[in-house]
Amino acid sequence: MRKTKLCPKCGSKDLSKERDAIIQSREFFKIISCNKCKFVELYMPDNEEREKKMRNSSIFLWSMIVVGFAIPIGVMLLFLIP
Ligand SMILES: [Zn+2]
């Protein structure tokens, strides 16, 4: 379905865009659905795609940590500098 761009059930070309699907908040899948008969196909993303996703979420985590430190330190400096 992903490669043929055809619905295996009704043969329609009217497919939705690929979307991310996260199942049980651990597994990351891609999802394509048919707009005609609502057939849904799930597939495993390529390893590359998966790694990109993992990297993105770790960058997000790191930026949260940096912000979490920067704000209290900034506030402390404001009080320390007369
Ligand atoms: Zn269909």
- What's the whole-number mean pLDDT along residues 59-76? 88
Q: Kindly give the distance from the C-alpha atom of residue 44 to the centroid of ligand 1, in angstroms, as a whole number.
A: 20
Q: Which pLDDT score, from 0 to 100, does residue 21 have? A: 83
Q: Kindly give the distance from the C-alpha atom of residue 28 to the centroid of ligand 1, in angstroms, as a whole number.
A: 24
| Amino acid letter for position 62 | W
Same domain, 20 and 59: no
Same domain, 71 and 32: no
Domain count, the chain: 2
In the predicted structure, residue 3 carries a pLDDT above the cut 90: no
SS3 content of the chain, % helix, strand, coil (to 5): 40, 20, 35
Same domain, 41 and 72: no
Calpha distance 52→45 (Å, rounded): 11
Q: Kindly give the distance from the C-alpha atom of residue 76 to the centroid of ligand 1, in angstroms, as a whole number.
A: 60
Instruction: Quote the tokens at residue 11.
Output: 């043969």
Same domain, 1 and 36: yes
Q: Kindly give the distance from the C-alpha atom of residue 18 to the centroid of ligand 1, in angstroms, as a whole number.
A: 15
Same domain, 35 and 7: yes
Residue 8 dihedral angles phi and psi, to the nearest 5°: -70, -15
Same domain, 52 and 40: no
Q: Which pLDDT score, from 0 to 100, does residue 36 have? A: 94
Nearest to 6 by CA among 30, 29, 31, 32: 32
Q: Kindly give the distance from the C-alpha atom of residue 37 to the centroid of ligand 1, in angstroms, as a whole number.
A: 4
Same domain, 40 and 20: yes
